[in-house]
Amino acid sequence: MTDMLPTSDIIAGSDRSAQPHVESGTPVAAVLTFERQPSAYRHWSIDIEAPLARLTMQVDPDAGVLGDYQLKLNSYDIGVDIELADAIRRLRFEHPEVRCVILGSAISGTFCAGANIRMLAAADHGHKVNFCKFTNETRLEIEEASAHSGLRFLAAINGACSGGGYEVAMACDHLLLVDDRSSAVSLPEVPLLGVLPGTGGLTRLTDKRLLRRDRADVFATKAEGIRGSQAVDWRLVDEVATPSTFQQAVHERALALAATSDRDPDAQAVRLDPLDRIASVEPGKGERIEYRYVSADLDRDRRFVTIDIASSPEPDWPLIAARELDDLLCHLRFNEVLLGTWVLKSHGNVADVLLHDRALAEPRSHAERETALLWKRVLSRLDLSARSLIALIDPGSCFAGVLAEIALAADRSYMLTGVFEDDDDPLPEAQLTLTAVNSGRFPMINDLSRLATRFWQDPEAMDAAAAAIGQPLTAAAASQLGLVTFAPDDLDWDDEVRVAIDERASFSPDALTSMEANHRFPGPETMATKIFARLSAWQNWVFIRPNATGPDGALRRYGTGSRADFDYRRC
């Protein structure tokens, strides 16, 4: 990352009805929204000439979403990245005829200067961390689209490419740099800003670009970067082209990449229509955010939110429910930072969920494949959210198949034994049903299924759980298999759930975030687990150190003509 974000006023596309709660006397923060339409993009354009698409960056300097800063030199803030994420997802769903995306810049001599420094300097800490997390999730979606959707990406680097701009380029399959004796790739955070390329830059250098560690050390401390043939020799880019041959080289390389794709150009496109979202406050019921299939009830006094997913037999349920859940998770991350516990529930018919199981477990069409991959990404966003996750499985719930993944993602789960005796017409006993999708269709970032992660290095427990696939499990059976944490009866249910929620709210959120991140991803390391573990550690530490964000820190002093005043003690 380089050249980021304060919160001050409402942004374009934001939602006043979902305004986050703030303490008395605190300036009201803008509410970020995460849906965009290409016709309203301020920073990107999409031009399609199958099998290629050009995704071109031309950041509007005066369209920063929050705060008083200019987005010069294609530097970006969260608004720019929200558009990028939307564009990538639309290319995946709505344009099966596209096999390769050329990611480039409309500004001559500049590809991307990275995250905006003025924004970084002014941002509150929580926004810095969530911004870095969101941007890297977008880069992972680029890489996932290539690996699993057959959509290739070419970075056409037509000028200076630094910090987060180079990190975006590194997410692509092929990096082509103009060799004009001035254009370079660089990660200048350490020498210039007192921070570091913590949203995947350093990890991708060594784990993806396979840069030798001594060269990585030189590169990450060389503010001016590396250009030309040396960039190729060091594996920082894949090839270079002279200014006169650059566009032709980009076109030819993009066609070659497109030829490696398995996307079906005749597949039916899947439209991503605007979501239905209503935010309301009802006397006696509190605040509620409601979509077609997903809802959230906010309890500010006890600092938790209840997320409920409804089942449906409708053919569009898997796609719409995934999009709604994704939108809600992003909203809660950025706009509701005081709601530290997410209580995960579902309701409806198990049979309705199972209607969609085959399409998610064994996708056969363009629509099915992309929908299954979207669920993988949304579930990953849930895993990576710095919130306590508690699943409640009670009568009327439908935790089966893909929704069972929600329960398995929780830090702990409660499943009611029996029924609620006081109900006049009690619902049938709760069930938990594993299906084929729980065997690895939606791997976590450690490349293991949530079942395999749960039973890491316990093959007997894993085999027993696998043997139960397809069987509706009562609380007693699920508890015996280790699929739920607790199975209280009707008499103890309310007290145990209340204590769990209130206890969570009493703990240090910093300690909880660190604890949960350690517990959620046991097993082998991957590039993604390294990125997010380091991101959590680095950004939560470096961004609060005075060397970076103090009044005399590098981010504050950048561009003033005065050098940062560092505390040179190392600890």
Question: What mean pLDDT do residues 445-461 have?
Answer: 97
Q: Containing domain of residue 90, as a range?
A: 16-258
Q: What is the pLDDT of residue 49?
A: 97
Encode pLDDT of 355-403 as tens digits: 999 999 999 999 999 999 999 999 999 999 999 999 999 999 999 999 9
228 and 329, same structural domain? no
294 and 244, same structural domain? no
According to DSSP, the residues that pair with 60 across neighbouring strands are none
Is 9 a domain residue?
Answer: no
Is 150 a domain residue?
Answer: yes
User: With 90 as the cut, is the pLDDT of residue 546 above it?
Assistant: no
- Give the up-direction half-sphere exposure of residue 506: CA atoms within 13 A in the CB hemisphere: 6
378 and 488, same structural domain? yes
296 and 251, same structural domain? no
Confidence band, pLDDT 50/70/90 cuts, at residue 30: low
Q: What is the pLDDT of residue 121?
A: 82
254 and 192, same structural domain? yes
| CATH code at position 126 | 3.90.226.10
Confidence band, pLDDT 50/70/90 cuts, at residue 438: very high
Encode pLDDT of 173-191 as tens digits: 999 999 999 999 999 999 9
Last residue of a domain, one of 502, 520, 538: 520
According to DSSP, the residues that pair with 280 across neighbouring strands are 288
Report whether 52 contacts 255 (CB < 8 A): yes
482 and 516, same structural domain? yes
Is 502 a domain residue?
Answer: yes
Encode pLDDT of 292-343 as tens digits: 999 999 999 999 999 999 999 999 999 999 999 999 999 999 999 999 999 9
Can you tell me the distance from the alpha carbon of 498 to that of 222, in angstroms, rounded to the nearest whole number?
A: 54
Is 515 a domain residue?
Answer: yes
Encode pLDDT of 501-538 as tens digits: 999 999 999 899 889 988 999 999 999 999 898 887 77
Report whether 346 contacts 397 (CB < 8 A): yes
Please state which of the ranges 77-91, 188-202, 425-439 shows the lowest mean pLDDT: 188-202
Question: What mean pLDDT do residues 426-441 have?
Answer: 94
Is 5 a domain residue?
Answer: no
225 and 364, same structural domain? no
Report whether 6 contacts 66 (CB < 8 A): yes
Question: What mean pLDDT do residues 454-478 have?
Answer: 97
Encode pLDDT of 241-282 as tens digits: 999 999 999 999 999 999 999 999 999 999 999 999 999 998
245 and 288, same structural domain? no
Encode pLDDT of 368-378 as tens digits: 999 999 999 99
Percent pLDDT > 70 in the chain is: 95
Is 316 a domain residue?
Answer: yes
223 and 178, same structural domain? yes
Is 569 a domain residue?
Answer: no
Q: Give phi and psi for 76, each to the nearest 5.
A: -130, 160
Can you tell me the distance from the alpha carbon of 217 to that of 191, in angstroms, rounded to the nearest whole number?
A: 12
Is 486 a domain residue?
Answer: yes
Residue type, 231: A
| Cβ neighbours of 138 (radius 10 Å) | 20
**Both tokens assigned to 14:** 């934001």
Domain count, the chain: 2
Can you tell me the distance from the alpha carbon of 247 to that of 292, in angstroms, rounded to the nearest whole number?
A: 45
Question: What mean pLDDT do residues 113-126 have?
Answer: 88
301 and 192, same structural domain? no
pTM here is: 0.92
Three-class HEC string of 79-95: HHHHHHHHHHHHHHHHC
Q: 25 vs 58, which has greater pLDDT?
A: 58
150 and 203, same structural domain? yes
User: With 70 as the cut, is the pLDDT of residue 4 above it?
Assistant: no
**Both tokens assigned to 54:** 């050009």
Report whether 64 contacts 3 (CB < 8 A): no
349 and 241, same structural domain? no
Quote the mean pLDDT of the chain. Answer: 91
